[in-house]
Each structure stands twice: as C-alpha cells, then as structure tokens.
Amino acid sequence: MGTTATEITAALFLLAFYRGRVPEDKAEVKSLGKAAILLEPEELPDLIGILQEDGRLRAGDGFGLDITENVTCRRTWLSGEDYTILFRVSNGYGDTAEATVSAVISGEVEHPELELSAISVAIPVGEAFDPYSYILSARDSDGTDRQGDVQVGTVPDTSVPGTYQVAYTLTSSDGMEQVKKYLTVATPHCSLSRLREEPGLARRIRQMTKEINERLEEDRISLQLLAGMEIMAEETRVEELAGALREESLLTLNGTRYPLVEFPFRCSPSLVYRTVEHLRENGFVPVIAHPERYRCVVQHPQHVYEWYRMGAVIQVNKGSVLGRFGRSIQRTADLLLRHRLAAAVASDAHSPGMRTPDMTWLRELLAERYGAYCPGCFWMRTRRGSCGTGK
C-alpha cells in the first residue's frame, strides 16, 4: 500500500478540541486544542457521540477511513472540577494511538474509591497469599459497595523469595474512571520454612560477609559488615526457633544472643507473645522488627509495652518515622519513641536506591523531636560488643 507503520501510527489519531461548541467552519480542523473542554456530568455517558457529532473528535485509520466510532475514553480526576481525559483508538492492523486533553466537568461526578489495609506486607515463604483479604473498602462516591468489582493483577508466587507488587483496580460504574492502588508483597529474608529450600543459607551468609569485609579492608574502606538475619516468625513453628538459633542454622545479630525477628503485618498479637516468651525462656533476647507496622499494634499500641516488659528489644524503622508507610504507622512510631520504648532505629534498607541504609541525617531529627536519648537508638550494645546500627 506504500504506507509505513510509522506513517500509519502518526496519521491514526486526528483530534480537534475547542472550549465549548465548535462553529461549523472550524469542524475540519485537525490540530489538538490546548484549552480545557467544558463538560456537564450528563454528557459523560455519550461523550464520544457528542464530541463526534459537533466535530470536536475525529479519528482516522491512516488510510482515509473514519474510525471515530471505535474511540474509547477514560477520565482521571485531578481535583475539584479538573480532569484529564485519555482517548484511545486502534485500526484494523493493531496500530493504536492515544491523546490526552484537559477537561472541566461541573457538577457531581461519580468517583470510585478504593482503600487497602496496607501498602506493603511480608509473608513467610510458601504461605498462601489471598490478595482480596487486603481490600479494606471499595465503593462508589455515593457509598455503593463495589468490593466484588475490584480487579487484582498478577498474584506472586510466594514459594520464591523476593519482593512483588500487586495492582488493584476499581472502575467506576460508567466505565470511564479508574482508581489503582498497589500492594508490595515481600517474602521474608529468612524463616524456618525457607531453610528447607536453602539449608546452608547461614553458612553462605557468613562466608559472603567474610569475603566482603576482606575486600573492604583491601580497598581501605573503613566499613565492617556484621552477619545476621531478619527472621520471619511462623505461627506453627514457634517452638523450633531457639533450636535453630543454637544450631546456627539461623543467625543472631553478630553472634550475640539477640535475634532480629519480624512478624507478618497482619499477625495476631498472640504470635508475638508466644515467640518472645519462647526465646526469652531459651536465653535469647528477641529484637522485634518494626512493630509499629503491625496492624495489631496500630490498633492497640499497648501490646508493645507488654513485649518490652517481657524483655524484648523494640526496633523502629526510619521510613515509619518519616511517614513513608502512612500516617497511622507514623503516629504509632512517634508513640513508641515518645514513651522511650524503642531501643533501636534501623534503616530496613532494601537497595542502594530505595529505602537506603543512609542514616546520617536522621540522628539530628530524632534528637530534635525526642531529646538526647534518641540518637543512642542507632546502636545496640551487648557485653560481647556491637549488634549493629540497622538492617
């Protein structure tokens, strides 16, 4: 036909928009106007037809055929009466084109509302993951329940350790507006279940730590790494933890009697009580990782005081202090720090670029908010030496 794919795509979508109705002598203009289009809520159900009828919308397939009737649209609410509208069309060859315009819609417009109970969760390797259990509410702006209409993206394979992102999408009843939320799902760094798949994990961690420290010394970098694990407690295997720690198939922090233990974000408080009691009876001092992020603590912070009295060490995350996991978690972290229940503040670092190990500037912030005691939370000292400055 003599037309390249590039030319087809470039010619595919021809749009003309004007504020308000378009005079007949301007109906054939093929450039996209930059002024926002003005719309009424009652125009939305037949928006494509209305814009096509008065000449504000036109799409071609690249070969002279009008395919405006194939155009679909999706609106995004910005604030107040301001929106963007995305128009999309495809021709018979699968070429697709899009155009986005600004719009002002006066009057009440339906907005889908979607809320998750968490923005990130940690679950043991191999444990079943039900994405729908994290939907707190889904409704239209008039209050109509829409939980059954939420679409969930790819569900992670929890048998493989790693970090995953699950997308939740709710579309308005008229099909024109979507809201998306994301849940980060992390399988833990280590657990008794994971040791079934990697029985030599502790040995490899110690060897890697040794090799990295040797390289740091060779390069004259004044940094020393200390071996340890963040251990995920499991509901059915609490009584096995102390034995695995004594055998060193699970590692404490720097070979001390302090194991760093985390719990599922939706755990029952009884799991924490049982784990702390078991470890204390066996001579270990559990460091409870980021309890401010556990739902049972957000709802009932007094649990942390009881764990503290049982002999556990409380560790708070940098991201929680800064509000990066939501206001309720930030308020809970603030409560633990103000009442001096937290003995350690950690970076919970996951990479050099996101949730980094950089803690240098946080010392002054903690001192300003909570007094001189708080910067001491950067270090945990034992008779054998340092446990570390964070994860």
Spatial contact of 170 and 115, defined as CB atoms under 8 Å apart: no
Letter for the amino acid at 389? T
pLDDT tens track for 268-317? 999 999 999 999 999 999 999 999 999 999 999 999 999 999 999 999 99
Higher per-residue confidence, 183 vs 272? 272
pLDDT over 80 (residue 374): no
The pLDDT of residue 14: 40
Q: Is the pLDDT of residue 243 over 60?
A: yes
Dist. CA 319–CA 30, nearest whole Å = 50
What percentage of the chain has pLDDT greater than the value 70? 79
Q: Label each residue of 312-328 as H, E or C.
A: CEEEEEHHHHCCCCCHH
- CA-wise closest residue to 111 among 27, 177, 189: 177
Delineate the domains of the chain, giving CATH numbers in brackets.
5-105 (2.60.40), 113-186 (2.60.40.10), 192-388 (3.20.20.140)
Which of 107-121, 183-197, 238-252 bottoms out in mean pLDDT, i.e. has the lowest?
183-197
pLDDT of residue 109: 85
Judge whether 233 and 286 are in contact, CB under 8 Å. no
- Is 0.85 topped by the overall pTM? no
Query: What is the band of 32 on the pLDDT scale with cuts at 50, 70, 90?
Result: very low
Flag whether pLDDT at 76 surpasses 80.
yes
pLDDT of 96-125, one tens digit each? 888 888 888 888 888 888 988 877 666 666
Highest mean pLDDT among 90-94, 109-113, 168-172: 168-172
Average pLDDT, the chain: 79
Helices (H), 293-382: 295-299, 302-309, 318-321, 327-338, 362-370
CB of 296 closer than 8 Å to CB of 267: yes
Amino acid letter for position 163: T
Q: Which residues, in sequence order, are CB contacts of 63 under 8 Å at separation 6+?
A: 1, 3, 8, 91
Main-chain phi, psi angles of 83, to 5 degrees: -140, 165
Q: Strand 230-232 to strand 260-262: parallel, antiparallel, or no bridges (unpaired)?
A: parallel
Dihedral angle computed from the Cα positions of residues 360, 363, 366 and 367, in that order, rounded to the nearest 10 degrees: -150
